[in-house]
Structure 1
Amino acid sequence: MRIGLVVDSACDLPLDYLQRHDVTILPITVRIGEAVLADHRNEQATLEFLHAHVAERGAEAETMPFTVQQIHDLFLERLVIDYDHVFCMTITRSRSPIFDNATQAGFSILNDYRPVRSAAGHDTPFALRVIDTQNLFAAQGITAVEAIRLREAGEGPPKIRARLEHLALHTHGYMIPRDLYYLRARARKKNDRSVGLLSAALGSALDIKPVLRGYRGETGPVAKIKGFEPAVEKLFAFTIARIHAGLMTPTVCLSYGGELEEMRMLPGYHDLERTCADNNIELFESVMSLTGMVNVGKGALVVGFAAENSPAFG
């Protein structure tokens, strides 16, 4: 059976890795004033757009995910021909309409695919499953990497579906933003009251950085640490401890809102890199998606991994 995999462009994995494993990307378009860029996970284009626009007016940006019709058309033009069963893994539905759009499109796709497949010489059924990863950015990558591994191991759709849905329940994403004022301005643009003016002002004045966790569709602070670099060092140390305790998959994903060389110079990075190598953990690093950067700001760091028993951050 030919199994296809789809992610949206907020899923922070390297483009060459996604291309090498034939993973289809649902792009998210970002508009800032008159400037428009469809995010296809091109890191160079993202960095150029970042330096030109995000730092100045990113909080005003509009993000436009694929509509129901666009998803429908993508599947009928290509995916229902190239594959027999497709898993579409999306950013958490609590933060984006992509899951709902893909689910709605799925009903019409399953009604309309037969003539298209028949014309291409396929008389077997087509199936589509939309998976809510229940997380964001680098943490989305955990589910996608596991889907690739399972497909390459020759597993069938029932086992892949059960594994991905179970994994989504145990995926943890941790983010440290650099600029709380930016985060608050962006939250206000989206009518999200989670970052108040007082906390932003106090945090910036005292250089206090929150550590935010994404888990089962919910996002919220789990710690406040003075200084961005000390916060990052503590997050890397926490991740190392989780590796030693045992992860559900041999995968850690990192994404950074800027040049990756900047991220690799942060305290604790090389300890994490060495720990991953010593424990046969694959470490994925990518420039944060443009969608991620306009939502959380330039210079933010995200770490994702899956663990059944992850204790409180500390």
Structure 2
Amino acid sequence: MQVGLIVDSACDLPPEFSRKHNIFILPVTAVINGQTYIDEHDPLKTQEFYQRGLLQKGYYAETRAYSPKQIHSLFMRKIVPQFDMAICETVARSRSLIYDNANEAMNTVMARYEGVRAAAGKDGRFSMRVIDSKQIFAGQGLLAAHTLGLIEKKLHKNALRHEVETFSDSILTCVIPRDLHYIRERARRRGDNSVSALVAFMGKALSITPVLFGKGTDAQPVAKTWSFESAVEKVMNYAAARVDAGLKTPYVSLSCGMSWPEIDALPGLDLLREACERNGVELLLSQMGITSSIYIGPGSLCLALAAEPHNFNDFQ
């Protein structure tokens, strides 16, 4: 049975990793200063966005989930003829309509796939599951990487879904927003009150760089620093120590909303690389995608790993 994995473009993964494992990217529409772009995680287009500075005014941008009709069309053309079963993992349902729209599209696909399968010369039934990852950015990427390992075990579809949903609760993310003015303005324009805890933590001192830590969208401020570099060093020290202590999956996912020279110069990155190599862990290092960067702001960083429950400061 051929099983395909679908993620949306809020999921940050290295492009070469996605290509190697034939991960299908469900696009997201981005509207920036009135111009429409389709984010398909094309690395060249992403690099162009950074070079042209298109994301610097991201609080004037909006992202739009593909409609159920658009998703239905993509699934029928790209997924049904190729796979016998598909797992679609979406960005956290609380942050986007992608889950709801993909779920609606799945229902119409399941009612109409037989003719498409027959035309493609595929025998047997087709099945599909849409799963709320409960994650964002690098966290969603980590879940996708772990899911590939579960698919290789050839679990029954119900067991596979259960394992994915259970594992998601073990994922912990660290987020460092580069510009709190950006976060505040984006929230104001969207009417989003979810950043109230961050604003309360920072008060009026928007020059402070916070470290947010927790499960998926429930991350809370756990440290405040006076520079982005200091915040990055804290996160790298934490991640390296946590890797040495043991993980639930042999991956660490790290996405950065900056150019590759800036990424390579991040303080503590070599320390994390060495810890991963020492422990047989693959570091999934990627440039933050267009969708992710619009949401959290260019220059930001997101790291995810899966481990037993612990506190951020336990590994400083």
TM-score w.r.t. length of structure 2: 0.92
The answer to whether the 8 A contact 2:201-2:221 is kept is no
Quick one: distance in 2 between partners of 1:151 and 1:199?
41
- Opposite residue 3 of structure 1, the aligned amino acid is V
- Unpaired segments ≥5 residues, structure 1: none
Residues 133-142 or 27-36, more deviating: 27-36
Instruction: Give the superposition deviation at 1:152.
Output: 3.4
Quick one: distance in 1 between partners of 2:217 and 2:127?
25
Q: Does 1:305 align with 2:305?
A: yes
Instruction: Give the superposition deviation at 1:260.
Output: 2.6
- Opposite residue 204 of structure 2, the aligned amino acid is L
Q: Does 1:52 align with 2:38?
A: no
- Opposite residue 78 of structure 1, the aligned amino acid is K
1:95 aligns with 95
2:249 aligns with 249
2:267 aligns with 267
The SS at the match of 2:191 is coil
1:226 aligns with 226
1:295 aligns with 295
Quick one: distance in 1 between partners of 2:195 and 2:157?
41
- Unpaired segments ≥5 residues, structure 2: none
Quick one: distance in 1 between partners of 2:216 and 2:203?
29
The answer to whether the 8 A contact 1:85-1:126 is kept is yes
The answer to whether the 8 A contact 1:208-1:225 is kept is yes
1:19 aligns with 19
- Kindly report the root-mean-square deviation, in angstroms, between the aligned alpha carbons of the 2 structures: 2.0
1:143 aligns with 143
2:205 aligns with 203
Percent identity between the two aligned chains: 39
Quick one: distance in 2 between partners of 1:25 and 1:44?
15
Deviations 1:199-225 (A, max 9, x none): 667333xx3111123515424323222
Residues 153-162 or 254-263, more deviating: 153-162
Quick one: distance in 2 between partners of 1:110 and 1:55?
38
The answer to whether the 8 A contact 2:171-2:306 is kept is yes
User: Residues 240, 56 of structure 1: CA spacing in aligned structure 2 closer, same or farther, 3 A cutoff?
Assistant: closer
- Opposite residue 255 of structure 2, the aligned amino acid is S
Residues 51-60 or 167-176, more deviating: 51-60
Aligned residues: 312
Instruction: Give the superposition deviation at 1:67.
Output: 1.2
User: Residues 56, 5 of structure 1: CA spacing in aligned structure 2 closer, same or farther, 3 A cutoff?
Assistant: closer
Instruction: Give the superposition deviation at 1:313.
Output: 4.0
The SS at the match of 1:160 is helix
1:152 aligns with 152
Instruction: Give the superposition deviation at 1:281.
Output: 0.5
Instruction: Give the superposition deviation at 1:56.
Output: 4.1
The answer to whether the 8 A contact 1:181-1:200 is kept is no
The answer to whether the 8 A contact 1:242-1:310 is kept is no
